[in-house]
Amino acid sequence: MLEAVDLAAVRGDRRLFSGIGFSLRQGELLHVTGVNGSGKTTLLRMLCGLVVPEAGDVLWEGKNIRAEREAYLRNLLYLGHLGALKDDLTGIENLRVAETLAGEPISERQALDALQGVGLNGHEDLPVRVLSQGQRRRVALARLALSRARLWILDEPFTALDKSSVDALRTRLEGHLNQGGMVILTTHQEIEIDAAVMKQVALG
Amino acid sequence: MLSVLLCMMRRDLVLAVRRMSDVLTTLFFFIIVVSLFPLGIGPEVEILRLIAPGVVWVAAILASMLALGRLFEGDYRDGTLEQMLLAPQPLSVLVLGKVLAHWAVSGLPLVLMAPLLGLQFGMTAEGLGVLLVSLVLGTPAISLIGAVGAALTLGVRGGGVLVSLLVLPLYIPVLIFGAGAVEASVTGLGAEAHLSLLGAILALALCFAPWATAAALRISLD
């Protein structure tokens, strides 16, 4: 279970948000909404432990994520709006490096299957540099199929995807929720995700 | 833990091989700077022999400064640095892997080229040998110390100049003992003391620099 208690963020002199609190249990989805610049990305980065909260705590299974860093990070998959892909590496290499860093090394075969799962057949051996924006996004999203993390934090995962990829991602998210996973995401698109419990946090 | 370190090193080495130009610019900068001195000063072997260790060492330090900006910049821009911070393994281990790979592509070529360049200065075989050893011990320390500065100035406007101001003063001990080792051996004092101290600096840097770099990266990404 992930809990946020009375979180506040300050950027420069400006207070982005304060008093944000929620709890997220197995199979629940949290949708973070807000206009541009309201601090959605900051909140997500804060939940990952990348940004130190101005006030408040983030708790994983009742313990502060700073104290239980390793246990928390093993259960966390964060995909930011930057793709976290190396331009000069191929899709397979990118996935294998990312998964090794996440503590779950995978074989070339598994990486290939994951890429084919997001419809990138025939593009596995190309450096990511030559792929289109949507294809790069799909390489990044292929990690969802490989990860064993229970909590997914996704920053604008639907951007740049075509219709069929949006549907595939939605199915993937629903599958994760059905298996008792947790999802936190931001999106500007109107997307119906079939979750047992769907929570919202509105910023700004 | 070792597997992530090796994974990080392998990734950065593969990236360096696919962007050979970055590696070569550092190396050629080093070669050209060192070669300018004999041309500018003239063929007096005595003077050249005297200044050789200092010139090679200063050029090596400047060349490594040139490469320092690339250490974290690319990872910062494409978001892979964020993922490194979110790895369950200690960040300092990942940093160590990156710095070792960085040294292998920006420091090691200079070390290997240095004896050849020393010949331009009429250095003796013994002097060249000591120069090589001093660079082998000193350049990794330079990469490690430089990483702290690179991490601190990440994402700062005009970071390139700032990192020089931050890091160059910290290189002074390495420079003194590195160049001093060659001088001591040529004058017959023996280079052991200088080389031991260089080794000590390297050992200290290996222990503390990755840890300090990791802390600096967390601050830079906050």
Q: Confirm or reject contact between B89 and chain A (CB < 8 A).
A: yes
Q: Confirm or reject contact between B86 and chain A (CB < 8 A).
A: yes
Quick one: closest CA in A to B15, which residue? A88
Q: What confidence tens digit (pLDDT) does each residue in A12-61 have?
A: 888 888 899 999 999 999 999 988 888 899 999 999 999 999 999 999 99
Q: Report DSSP state, residue A193.
A: -
Question: Measured between CB atoms, which of B82, B89, B222 is closest to A103?
Answer: B89
Instruction: Give the dihedral sign, CA B73/B211/A104/A81.
Output: negative
What confidence score (pLDDT) does residue B214 get?
95
Quick one: closest CA in B to A68, which residue? B88
CA-based nearest distance B71→chain A, Å: 14
What confidence score (pLDDT) does residue A184 get?
94
Domain with B10, as residue range(s), is 2-221
> What are the structure tokens assigned to A180, written together?
């008792």
CB B16 within 8 A of CB B22: yes
Quick one: closest CA in B to A71, which residue? B88
Q: Do B87 and A101 touch (CB under 8 A)?
A: yes
CB B112 within 8 A of CB B128: no
CA-based nearest distance A187→chain B, Å: 19
* Length of chain A counted residue by residue: 204
The pLDDT-based confidence of B86 (bands split at 50, 70, 90) is very high
* Length of chain B counted residue by residue: 222
Half-sphere exposure of B108 (CA within 13 A, CB side): 9
CA-based nearest distance B166→chain A, Å: 24
What confidence score (pLDDT) does residue B75 get?
92
> What are the structure tokens assigned to A135, written together?
């294809």
Helices (H) and strands (E) in chain A, counts: 7, 9
What confidence score (pLDDT) does residue A203 get?
84
Rounded-to-integer distance, Cα B138 and Cα B47, Å: 24
Q: Do A84 and B89 touch (CB under 8 A)?
A: no
Cα A96 to chain centroid distance, Å, stands at 18
- Percent of chain B at pLDDT > 90 equals 73
Question: Measured between CB atoms, which of B4, B86, B88 is closest to A48?
Answer: B86
Rounded-to-integer distance, Cα B83 and Cα A104, Å: 14
What confidence score (pLDDT) does residue A196 get?
74
The pLDDT-based confidence of A187 (bands split at 50, 70, 90) is confident
Q: What confidence tens digit (pLDDT) does each residue in A127-154 have?
A: 999 999 889 999 999 999 998 899 999 9
CA-based nearest distance B94→chain A, Å: 9
Task: Determine phi and psi for A19, rounding to 5 degrees.
Answer: 65, 25
Q: Do A101 and B8 touch (CB under 8 A)?
A: yes
- Residue A113 pLDDT exceeds 80: yes
How many distinct structural domains can be found in chain B? Answer: 1
Q: Indicate the average pLDDT of chain A.
A: 89
Rounded-to-integer distance, Cα B103 and Cα B13, Å: 10
- Residue B157 pLDDT exceeds 90: no
Q: Which residues of A touch B (CB under 8 A)?
A: 48-52, 69-70, 73-74, 76, 78, 80, 82-89, 93, 97-98, 100-103, 105, 127
Neighbours of B5 (CB within 10 A): 18
The pLDDT-based confidence of A193 (bands split at 50, 70, 90) is confident
Q: What confidence tens digit (pLDDT) does each residue in A10-26 have?
A: 888 888 888 999 999 99
